[in-house]
Amino acid sequence: IHRKIKKTGLPKEIGCHSFRGTGITNFLQHGGDIETAARIAGHASTRTTQLYDRRHDIVNQGEIERIRF
């Protein structure tokens, strides 16, 4: 994966765990539960799966529009 990423010119920080985080986040955003996500990811604990959950990083347009300049 790292060789493919290097060819694309994407940042070095993108790798296997980035894809895993994206998959887990998308699963949870679309109604999946953390226990099922943990099983799919092969995690023994949901705490590990929660480390990959990036839903809290997502900002929606409504939140941005509340900012007054």
User: What is the tally of structural domains in the chain?
Assistant: 1
Residue span of the structural domain in which 60 resides: 2-65
pLDDT digits (tens, 9 = 90+) for 2-36: 787 778 877 777 767 788 999 999 999 999 999 99
Query: How much is the pLDDT for 42?
Result: 97
pTM: predicted TM-score of the whole model, two decimal places:
0.68
Residue type, 26: N
Q: 3-state SS string over 4-60? A: HHHHHCCCCCCCHHHHHHHHHHHHHHCCCCHHHHHHHHCCCCHHHHHHHCCHHHCCC
Is residue 54 exposed (0-12), middle (13-18) or buried (19+ Cβ within 10 Å)?
middle
Higher pLDDT among residues 63 and 37, named by residue = 37
Question: Is the pLDDT score of 48 beyond 90?
Answer: yes
- Say whether pLDDT at 38 is over 80: yes
Per-residue pLDDT at 64: 79
